Structure 1
Amino acid sequence: MRTARRRPGVIVAVLVGIIGLIGAGTALANSPAAAQFAEQPLVYGTPCTVTAKACVDLDSRQSWLLQDGKIISGPVPVATGGPGHETPVGHSLRVYRKEQLHTSSEYRLTNGEGAPMPWATFFEDGGIAFHEGRTDTPSGGCVRLSRDNAIAWYNHLQIGDQVQVVRATQVHADRGLAPPPPPKQW
């Protein structure tokens, strides 16, 4: 009978990695943006604060346009990133570029051309944007909207405007609020 040989180096490496991940999570939770987010009141009916101009809830896959702490459009259905291509969470993302007829340099059509991303409003590094597209399947990380909604988001959001991408279940838990309705399934 063969006995298992212990590998202390592997165990130590795994423990160090876990501790590092816990520390990174704590650092993110204690970031200035997260602290400011926690101090601001939420816009009624959304999981985002009064400082946001656009709100995305990854749990319900919905988005809102906001102005002066009030909803001016939404909730509307959106597609967000699927496994391995998750839409990044952020409390103080900013619109940094807009392109009405953008094409992706990462995703290609079957003919080799870049996938269309009309009405693109970029708010996160790596080409993450609101743009027109299907809302019934996961995206590559962007927030896809119907054509009319993509145009409305494009027209409303200006360079420098704050975008918040959150998980309502986490926001509610962090604030001691009743949980939101259960997330939709794909």
Structure 2
Amino acid sequence: MSRDGRSNGFRIRRAVARPRWLAASFAMTAALAVATVAAPAMASASPASSRLAATVAGTPCGAGVVACVARGKSGFNGKAWFVRNGKVVRGPIDATTGGPGEDTPVGTFHVLSKDLHHASTETNNAKGQPSPMPYSVFFTKSGVAFHGGGALATRTAGCIRLANNDASYFFDNLKLGDTVQVVDGTGPAGDEGDSHDSGHKGGGGLLGGL
């Protein structure tokens, strides 16, 4: 074959190869474009998934809590849960919290003290005697506690009132250092250290004995 014939054959092969190369290039470019669009969508979905994964099922509180409280409107119709190993073992149960101006603080706390027969140093009963707060479990330095006594229809001065049988259960099963989280009934509260207890008057007064 002549030199010109070889040259013509080479040109023909190049002409055939070029469209294949271009098609592969276009396919690669399209794949990169799809990956670029998909990546932000995956990234935006990640925080939501994290929030769901960090919430104890059946409660509005984050993972790691032992006692969870959702404040009700103006202190009424609140709910509480007791959690062990990431699962609810008691609740939701009825809870009454502080009313306007004496709202139970929102945040993440730890059990500090327990007193089976505590009496309030802040409020009195109808007889003028210190209000009984049986089964008190304190979780703020200002005196906010879970406790029994009184009617659930009566708001507290900042504590969380439970029915006596529920308060007894919390008292028996909460341990010093256990995590308590109070939320506003709409979602997780702040992380550790984001509690809002500064200067709050809890109603329980001084912490009870261990």
Instruction: State TM-score, norm by structure 2.
Output: 0.60
For residues 40 and 107 of structure 1, what CA distance do their matches in structure 2 show? 41
Q: Which has the larger radius of gyration?
A: 2
Give 1:156's aligned residue.
Answer: 173
For residues 115 and 66 of structure 1, what CA distance do their matches in structure 2 show? 29
Change (3 A) 1:124 1:40: farther
For residues 155 and 125 of structure 2, what CA distance do their matches in structure 1 show? 16
1:80-138 Cα offsets, whole Å, 9 max, x none, are 000111000012x0110000000011112244321100000001122110000321221
For residues 154 and 94 of structure 2, what CA distance do their matches in structure 1 show? 11
Q: Where in structure 2 are the equivalents of 1:1-186 lying within 5 Å?
A: 41-59=54-72, 61-91=78-108, 93-133=109-149, 134-171=151-188
For residues 78 and 136 of structure 1, what CA distance do their matches in structure 2 show? 9
Letter in 2 for 1:147: N
Equivalent residue pairs, number? 135
Q: Is the CA contact 1:64–1:71 (under 8 Å) kept in the aligned structure 2?
A: yes
Instruction: State TM-score, norm by structure 1.
Output: 0.68
Letter in 1 for 2:140: E
Secondary structure at the counterpart of residue 147 of structure 2: strand
For residues 104 and 64 of structure 2, what CA distance do their matches in structure 1 show? 20
TM superposition outliers: structure 1 runs of 4+ over 3 Å: none
Letter in 1 for 2:114: K
Query: Which structure has greater strand proportion?
Result: 1
Letter in 1 for 2:59: T
Q: Is the CA contact 1:80–1:87 (under 8 Å) kept in the aligned structure 2?
A: yes
Over aligned residues, Cα RMSD in angstroms? 2.1
For residues 172 and 134 of structure 2, what CA distance do their matches in structure 1 show? 13
Secondary structure at the counterpart of residue 100 of structure 1: strand
Question: Kindly, what percent of the aligned residue pairs are identical?
Answer: 39
Q: Is the CA contact 1:56–1:166 (under 8 Å) kept in the aligned structure 2?
A: yes
Which structure 2 residue ranges, 5 or more long, are not aligned?
A: 1-50, 190-210
Q: Is the CA contact 2:102–2:157 (under 8 Å) kept in the aligned structure 1?
A: yes
Q: Is the CA contact 1:52–1:163 (under 8 Å) kept in the aligned structure 2?
A: yes
Query: Which structure has greater helix proportion?
Result: 2
